[in-house]
Amino acid sequence: MGTLCFAMSISVDGYIEDPTGSIGFSEPDEEVHRFHNQRTRATAAFLFGRGLYEVMEDFWTAPERADGGDVEAEFAREYVATPRVVFSDSLKSVAPGCRLVRRADAVAEVVRLKRETDGDLGLGGAGLAASLLDLIDEFQPTVVPAFTGGGKPYFPLGAHLQLRLVEQRAFRNGTVHLRYVRSEQ
């Protein structure tokens, strides 16, 4: 059975984007990037909302990524090799290696994927995560030592979740990866 993991980089104050929509504050150094490479290698499939898909796909499939530095090229190879499911009502098609699912079918599709997949299903995109909140098994924020003062929050506003910390890892640059599971009530 697959594990649905909502994993994104966030600011110390809990945002995945700053007030201008930028994720520039979360650019990883080499140590953190290597960690993300390992996590990507262990991911059975990525599940993205349209916005994150467009950012990830445009950047990581560009030819210069595969020819870039060793760490970045490794991530690009792992990213392209991982199946990607994109949930969108506005897109008409997606890139090779990706599959398009309408947002109205998201819950049924994720239930099916969890049932039929061994390993982690890497969920990305705050809007998609909010619509799938009851299906998320793990919350894995990577907290970057930056304060944005606003933007797009990682956790949906108004959500009430009881979580239990099961893993943490601190990096030299002050970034901290946290892994939470739902607490038993």
CATH number for position 106: 3.40.430.10
CB contact at 8 A, 122 and 136: no
Tell me whether strands 2-11 and 119-124 are parallel, antiparallel or unpaired.
Answer: parallel
CB contact at 8 A, 169 and 177: yes
| Total residue count of the chain as it appears in this document | 185
Q: What is the pLDDT of residues 43-96, one digit of tens each?
A: 999 999 999 999 888 777 766 666 668 888 888 888 889 999 999 999 999 998
Q: Name the token pair of 145.
A: 């030592």
Q: Is the pLDDT confidence value at 145 over 60?
A: yes
Instruction: Detail the DSSP E strand segments found in the chain.
Output: 2-11, 15-17, 43-49, 84-87, 98-101, 119-124, 138-144, 152-153, 163-170, 176-182
User: pTM (2 decimals)?
Assistant: 0.92
pLDDT category of residue 98 using cuts at 50, 70 and 90: very high
Quote the domain boundaries for residue 68. 2-182
Number of domains in the chain: 1
Q: What is the DSSP letter of 67?
A: T
DSSP collapsed to 3 states, 72-108: HHHHHHHHHHCCEEEECCCCCCCCCCEEEECHHHHHH
Q: What is the pLDDT of residues 99-131, one digit of tens each?
A: 999 999 999 999 999 999 999 999 999 999 999
CA distances from 14 to 25, 38, 121 (A): 12, 24, 22
Distance of CA 74 to the CA centre of its chain: 18
In angstroms, the CA 15 to CA 23 distance is 9
